[in-house]
Amino acid sequence: MRLLKPVVLVAALAVAGSAWAADAVIKYRQDQMRALGGHMGSIAAIMKGEVPHRDQLAAHAQALAATAAFTETVFKERALDSKSTAKPEIWTDWERFAKDAKALKQASDAFAEAVAANDQRAMRAAMGQVGRSCKSCHDAFKTKG
Ligand code: HEC
């Protein structure tokens, strides 16, 4: 009988199909966005020399790039509610959204490579690109809320 529970759970998921609960979909992608923001904040503090954690920069850069890679996937399913600041245009102009997501991924990969190479100029340039890619997508696809 103890085996029954997982079976019932799997069956329930199968019935639910791709219609995941909207509030969970929204919370998950907001958590992902906040993770990006957290790593950006840590990276900025280290690069400005406000904290003595230079040895942690590469880990933040890799985590930023790894998390950025999920952006397209976590927004694929259309989900909107009053807690979301996502604009419906994401799903009517998906190509542009996907392009912005790829730009973020490319810029954060370039930043991680520059950190690994300890190339200060490339680090600053790539960080500028990362920041611009966050802003470009937010300007087009996020309400101010
Ligand atoms: C491809 C588009 C896109 C890119 C690139 C992007 N974001 Fe977002 N971001 C969004 C959207 C859309 C929302 C609104 C999500 C929602 O509320 O459903 C959002 C929300 C957020 C939020 C608020 C989360 C919350 O709890 O409501 C933060 C913080 C954030 N983004 C940070 C960043 C940072 C930092 C970057 C760059 C490193 C970035 N974003 C890049 C589209 C993007």
Instruction: Give pLDDT tens digits for 120-139.
Output: 999 999 999 999 999 999 99
Residue with token string 């950025």: 68
pLDDT attached to residue 12: 55
Distance 138 CA to ligand 1 centre (A): 6
Ligand 1 atom at minimal distance to the Cα of residue 108: 38
Ligand 1 atom at minimal distance to the Cα of residue 87: 12
* Cβ-based neighbours of 27, under 8 Å, separated by 6 or more: 83
pLDDT at 15 over 80: no
pLDDT tens string 48-64: 999 999 999 999 999 99
pLDDT attached to residue 29: 98
| pTM score, whole prediction | 0.89
Element (H, E) at 30: helix 22-47
**Fold (topology level) of 20-141:** Four Helix Bundle (Hemerythrin (Met), subunit A) (1.20.120)
pLDDT at 145 over 90: no
Residues contacting ligand 1 via CB (< 6 Å) = 26, 29-30, 33-34, 36-37, 40, 71, 84-86, 97, 100-101, 104, 130, 133-134, 137-138, 141-142
What mean pLDDT comes out for the span 102-125? 98
pLDDT at 84 over 90: yes
Distance 80 CA to ligand 1 centre (A): 14
pLDDT attached to residue 67: 97
User: What secondary structure letter does DSSP report for 54?
Assistant: G
